[in-house]
């Protein structure tokens, strides 16, 4: 998204623009500064103080970002307010806004925050800087923790225990008197510990792998324990654990010192044995990380002992077999791993590996057998896998340039598959003779409609769009004119059916208003009313507004949203 700053009002929603101007005129943009070259940060006061990021490139705003919860469009009122403020700063008030050279002239005179900090660091003495750090670590806990994390490798007493202690203190500080962590507190934990994990990634970049291991394992372990007495409905704690384990995977995939390798593989085995992560996907991930780290027979046997005992569920069995295969491949080589693979093809992950390997080696008959056996095995209980095995058969046919099988599997996948059907449709069009194509498509549409699935309309609509049959598309959309369906297909229909689409929108809005109550729904109504206006039917917009005002006079929030249309 690129929005010319000098005329940004033409590129954003009119109601959003009005609200943004109101915020700006009231002085609610409390700060708008250039943080680095072309990157501006604004603080806009609202229900809370929201931060807006504006990147300016050749006079245009690129992908503006605001941390408010607004999700009804790409630009919120806070971004609009920041744009008004930035434009005033960059352009002389007595010059036309279309002239952009004033912007570059003023920008050149201003120093960014990064420039100012760089200059100060050149001038400040070492002793003054030390004193500043000491004073701020005493009075600012967040700064203190960030400083300790950033330079932890210089502490001779550094250990996982230090980080564990800090994490426990954070968890205690947000728990209620019964030790429970509410969902809002979970969010604060996430905000407080993300800098720790970010610091761990910086340690990896600097080669301080052991420090990164200490931080990641401490967070993963303690936060997993906290899940037992926390409301993590917003996923804040789970995200922390996944981030921590991602760091461990990255370390395991790096060229790390032997001492770090040994330390991490020992942690993984111990965590698995103690069932630290049992009940979560992370339990088996301990063995997966260990399989990436092992280098000798002794470690392989330690891993295999554990994978043999991991049999609590189908998921664990499949994960254990996949980890075993990868470990055998790493230590014993391709032959023994291939023998293991053939004995465990009921495992979908291993069957996938076997098919891909055979296809890469041009062993097409073998790849086909694996795929057909997979269909027979999963036909009754796992339809998603049946689709995947048919997709492999399609790719095998393509590799062999087998026209009949390519058409056969492309057609089946287009009608019965759950994936993006465009590739299969395009393949069919390339293989079916042009003079037979229209008849073939009509038959294809009939077959798709006969399936009577929930996504049938969308699949047929996509055919009409690909073929440019917009008359048929309009007739299809008329059969289920929900607001979302109309919005989805409006771009293809508005050229020839603008007034008809406006009418369908108006009917759908009336139905929507009768079924939904609340500010968010009223904003949705207002958004679609503006779409009707843009379709060239402002009179229709007015009619619906008057009808809604008359029918729902008690809905004050609705009346307010209608005022903004």
The beta strand positions in 16-116, using DSSP E, are 29-36, 39-45, 49-57, 60-66
Q: Tokens in use for 255?
A: 């060229």
**What is the reported pLDDT for 418?**
67
**Spatial contact of 432 and 414, defined as CB atoms under 8 Å apart:** no
pLDDT category at 98 given cuts 50, 70, 90 is: very low
Residue 285 pLDDT more than 90? yes
Q: Which of 367, 413, 368, 408 is nearest to 386 (CA)?
A: 413
Which of residues 515 and 2 earns the better pLDDT score?
A: 515
What is the spatial order of strands in the sheet that 49-57 belongs to? 2-4, 60-66, 49-57, 39-45, 29-36
In this prediction, residue 456 carries a pLDDT of 60
Closest CA to 57 of 74, 43, 42, 40: 40
Cα–Cα distance between 427 and 483 in angstroms, integer? Answer: 32
Tell me the sheet residues that pair with 42: 32, 52
Closest by Cα among 345, 306, 341 to 325: 341
Answer whether 200's CB lies under 8 Å from 247's CB.
Answer: yes
Residue 421 has a CB neighbour count (10 Å cut-off) of 21
* Mean pLDDT of the residues in the chain: 87
Q: Quick: pLDDT tens for 182-213.
A: 888 888 888 888 888 998 999 999 999 999 99
List C-alpha distances in Å: 415 to 376, 391, 404, 431, 459. Answer: 20, 13, 17, 17, 9
Q: How open is the CA angle 210-212-214, to the nearest 5 degrees?
A: 70
Report the alpha-carbon distance of residue 446 to residue 226 in Å, rounded. 55
d(CA 366, CA 341) in angstroms, rounded, equals 14
Per-residue model confidence as pLDDT tens digits over 99-139: 333 333 333 445 566 677 778 888 888 888 888 888 887 88
Q: What is the C-alpha to C-alpha distance for residues 482 and 220, in angstroms, rounded to an integer?
A: 45
Burial track 71-80 (b if 16+ CB lie within 10 A, e otherwise): eeebbbbbbb
What is the rounded average pLDDT of the residues 49-68? 86
Distance of CA 40 to the CA centre of its chain: 24
Q: Is the pLDDT of residue 57 over 90?
A: no
214 band by pLDDT with thresholds 50, 70 and 90? very high
| Whether pTM exceeds 0.85 | no
Considering only residues 195 and 431, tell me which one the structure prediction assigns the higher pLDDT: 431
- Give the pLDDT score at 171: 86
Contact 225, 277 (CB under 8 A): no
Name residue, tokens 């260990």: 290
Using the 8-state DSSP alphabet, how is residue 13 labeled?
A: -
8 Å CB contact between 455 and 466: no
Residue 350: both structure tokens together: 């291993």
Q: What is the pLDDT of residue 112?
A: 61
Q: What is the pLDDT of residue 424?
A: 93
Distance CA 359, CA 395 (A): 9
Least confident segment among 127-136, 284-293, 351-360, 552-561: 127-136
Model pLDDT, residue 107: 38
Residue 102 structure tokens = 């004033």
Instruction: Kindly state the average pLDDT of the residues 258-268.
Output: 96
């Amino acid at each position: 998204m690129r929005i010319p700053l000098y005329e940004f009002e033409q590129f954003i929603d009119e109601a959003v623009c009005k609200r943004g101007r109101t915020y700006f005129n009231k002085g609610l943009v409390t700060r708008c500064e250039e943080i680095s070259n072309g990157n501006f940060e604004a603080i806009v006061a609202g229900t809370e103080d929201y931060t807006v990021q504006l990147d300016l490139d050749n006079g245009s705003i690129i992908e503006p970002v605001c941390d408010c919860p607004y999700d009804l469009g790409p630009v919120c009122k806070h971004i609009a307010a920041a744009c008004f403020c930035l434009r005033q700063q960059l352009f002389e008030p007595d010059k036309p806004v279309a002239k952009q050279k004033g912007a570059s002239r003023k920008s050149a005179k201003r120093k960014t925050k990064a420039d100012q900090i760089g200059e100060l660091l050149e001038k400040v003495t070492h002793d003054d800087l030390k004193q500043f750090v000491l004073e701020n670590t005493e009075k600012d806990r967040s700064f203190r923790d960030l400083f300790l994390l950033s330079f932890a490798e210089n502490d001779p007493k550094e250990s996982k225990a230090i980080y564990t202690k800090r994490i426990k203190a954070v968890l205690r500080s947000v728990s209620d008197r019964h030790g429970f962590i509410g969902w809002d507190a979970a969010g604060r934990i996430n905000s407080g510990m993300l800098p720790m994990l970010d610091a761990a990634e910086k340690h990896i970049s600097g080669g301080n792998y052991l420090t990164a291991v200490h931080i990641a394992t401490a967070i993963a372990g303690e936060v997993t324990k906290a899940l037992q007495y926390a409301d993590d409905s917003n996923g804040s704690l789970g995200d922390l654990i996944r981030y921590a384990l991602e760091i461990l995977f990255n370390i395991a995939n790096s060229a790390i010192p032997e001492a770090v390798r040994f330390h991490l593989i020992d942690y993984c085995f111990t965590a698995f044995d103690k069932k630290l992560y049992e009940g979560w996907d992370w339990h088996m991930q301990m063995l997966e990380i260990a399989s990436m780290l092992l280098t000798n027979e002794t470690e392989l046997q330690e891993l295999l002992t554990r994978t043999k005992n991991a049999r609590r569920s189908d998921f664990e069995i499949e994960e254990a077999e996949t980890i075993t295969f990868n470990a055998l491949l790493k230590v014993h080589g391709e032959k023994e791993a291939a023998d293991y693979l053939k004995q465990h093809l009921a495992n979908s992950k291993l069957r996938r590996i076997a098919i891909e390997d055979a296809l890469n080696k041009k062993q097409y008959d073998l790849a086909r057998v694996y795929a057909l056996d997979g269909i027979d095995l999963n036909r009754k209980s796992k339809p998603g896998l049946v689709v995947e095995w048919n997709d492999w058969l399609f790719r095998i046919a393509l590799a062999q340039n087998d026209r009949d099988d390519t058409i056969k599997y492309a057609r089946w996948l287009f009608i019965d598959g759950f994936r993006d059907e465009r590739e299969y449709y395009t393949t069919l069009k390339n293989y079916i003779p042009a003079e037979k194509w229209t008849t073939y498509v009509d038959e294809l549409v009939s077959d798709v409609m006969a399936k009577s699935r929930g996504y049938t309309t969308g699949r047929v609509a996509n055919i009409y769009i690909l073929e440019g049959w917009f008359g048929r598309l309009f007739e299809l959309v008329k059969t289920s004119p929900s607001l979302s369906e109309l919005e989805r297909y409006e771009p293809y229909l508005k050229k020839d059916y603008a007034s008809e689409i406006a009418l369908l929108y108006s009917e759908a809005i009336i139905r929507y208003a009768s079924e939904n109550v609340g500010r968010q729904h009223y904003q949705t109504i207002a958004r679609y009313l503006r779409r009707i206006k843009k379709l060239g039917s402002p009179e229709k917009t007015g009619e619906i507004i008057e009808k809604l005002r008359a029918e729902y006079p008690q809905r004050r929030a609705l009346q307010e949203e209608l005022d903004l249309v």
